[in-house]
């Protein structure tokens, strides 16, 4: 491994990223930077399949347990934390191995994903009041006064229209100008060369692995973990409470506590839906250097193949 290169392993949930990445980190004395948007939360361990302490022995992990479940952890904060971690790891002379499948966070290593437009409170209040009084038609009309052409902006999506209107008012630019300025921005990690391996499996096998992982989570104490997190403030309307595994368990605790299938079935269906979305996203949103189908090789063969890629 080259010390300056960012080595990235990604793939759908339940694909098997954790075990392989830990073995690679051990072999090459690398440190792992998580790119999983749920590993940030302290106490969310079982339902996120977070690497357990014994798996982290001898392999420093970063991007894990960074905030409480009551906090909102966004991509802007992640970029700052990740940049600090990358610099510190490489200053120690170790390779950086980025592992995870959270698309928006992963994308931040390749291109800009947020702008730096400051929205004054007066504009926030104006836009919010306009939306409350006149709804979506009102904010669309106001936006079109400033920006008659809006490109691919979805004018049926209130959240995106609110965001566009706020940024147009704050910057003095129209939507197309803002899009052009944003495309010209560079990722915070543009100076680092990157090599990315996408792990895949056959759909039926991945479905079976997802189902087995759900069984394992429940056996290991997912329900008890969620109950404990409820005491710490886990709620349906929080980002943490909307995570797969947690939102279904929160609902199950309120309704079908005697029927475990009523918990497993929606968890599996939502996980499979996520996997389908991830597959599509990986094909179109990030540059992939190598694809490795883990079902075509034994575990040892897969490890040997990955070892040659990350040299």
Domain shared by 103 and 216, yes or no? yes
Which of 142, 165, 183 is the C-terminal boundary of a domain? 183
Domain shared by 210 and 157, yes or no? no
Residue 97 lies in a domain: yes
Domain shared by 96 and 192, yes or no? yes
Res 229: pLDDT: 96
Phi, psi of 195 (to 5 degrees): -130, 130
* Close Cβ partners of 299 (under 8 Å, ≥ 6 residues apart): none
Domain shared by 89 and 203, yes or no? yes
Domain shared by 10 and 77, yes or no? yes
Domain shared by 166 and 281, yes or no? no
Domain shared by 15 and 144, yes or no? no
Which of 183, 202, 221 is the C-terminal boundary of a domain? 183
Res 1: pLDDT: 57
Domain shared by 97 and 153, yes or no? no
Structure-token match 């309704």, residue found? 255
**b/e map of 74-95 (b: 16 or more CB within 10 Å)?**
ebeebbebbeebbeebbeeebb
Question: Three-state SS across 273-285?
Answer: HHHHHHHHHHHHH
Domain shared by 93 and 204, yes or no? yes
Tally the domains of the chain: 2
User: Quick count: other Cβ atoms within 10 Å of Cβ 156?
Assistant: 9
Domain shared by 160 and 261, yes or no? no
Domain shared by 92 and 134, yes or no? no
Domain shared by 48 and 96, yes or no? yes
Q: CATH number of the domain that 280 lies in? A: 3.40.50.300
Q: CATH number of the domain that 174 lies in? A: 1.10.20.140
**Collapsing DSSP states into helix, strand and coil, what is residue 121?**
helix
Q: Which structural domain, as residue segments, surrounds residue 132?
A: 121-183
Which of 149, 183, 217 is the C-terminal boundary of a domain? 183
Mind listing the pLDDT tens digit of every residue in the chain (311 residues)? 555 899 999 999 999 999 999 999 999 999 999 999 999 999 999 999 999 888 888 899 999 999 999 888 889 899 999 999 999 999 999 999 999 999 989 999 999 888 888 999 999 999 999 999 999 999 999 999 999 999 989 999 998 999 999 999 999 999 999 999 888 888 999 999 999 999 999 999 999 999 999 999 999 999 999 999 999 999 988 888 989 999 999 999 998 778 999 999 999 999 999 999 999 999 888 999 999 999 999 999 999 999 998 87
Res 2: pLDDT: 54
Residue 131 lies in a domain: yes
Residue 1 lies in a domain: no
Residue 26 lies in a domain: yes
Structure-token match 């392993």, residue found? 9
Residue 214 lies in a domain: yes
Q: What is the DSSP letter of 294?
A: G
Which segments of 107-168 are extended strands (E)? Answer: none
């Amino acid at each position: 491994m080259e010390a300056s290169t960012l080595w990235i392993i990604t793939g759908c949930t339940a694909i098997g990223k954790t075990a392989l990445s830990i073995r690679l980190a051990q072999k090459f004395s690398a440190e792992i930077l998580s790119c999983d948007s749920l590993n940030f939360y302290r106490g969310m361990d079982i339902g996120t399949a977070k690497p357990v302490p014994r798996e982290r022995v001898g392999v420093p992990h970063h991007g894990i347990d960074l905030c409480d479940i009551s906090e909102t952890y966004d991509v802007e904060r992640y970029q700052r934390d990740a940049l600090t971690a990358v610099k510190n790891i490489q200053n120690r002379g170790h390779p950086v191995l980025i592992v995870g499948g959270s698309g928006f966070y992963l994308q931040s290593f390749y291109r800009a994903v947020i702008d730096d437009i400051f929205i004054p409170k007066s504009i926030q209040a104006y836009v919010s009041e306009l939306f409350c009084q006149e709804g979506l038609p009102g904010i669309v009309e106001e936006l079109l006064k400033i920006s008659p052409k809006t490109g691919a902006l979805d004018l049926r999506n209130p959240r995106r229209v609110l965001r566009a209107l706020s940024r147009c008012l704050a910057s003095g630019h129209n939507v197309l100008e803002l899009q052009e300025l944003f495309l010209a921005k560079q990722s915070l990690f543009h100076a680092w060369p990157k090599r990315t391996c996408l792990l895949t499996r056959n759909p039926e096998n991945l479905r079976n692995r997802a189902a087995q992982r759900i069984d394992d989570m429940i056996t290991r104490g997912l329900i008890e973990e969620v109950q404990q997190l409820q005491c710490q403030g886990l709620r349906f309307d929080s980002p943490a409470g909307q995570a797969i595994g947690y939102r279904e368990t929160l609902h199950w605790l309120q309704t079908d506590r005697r029927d475990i299938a009523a918990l497993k079935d929606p968890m599996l269906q939502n996980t499979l839906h996520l996997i389908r979305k991830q597959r599509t996203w990986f094909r179109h949103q990030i540059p992939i250097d190598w694809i490795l189908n883990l079902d075509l090789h034994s575990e040892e063969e897969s490890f040997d193949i990955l070892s040659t890629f990350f040299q």
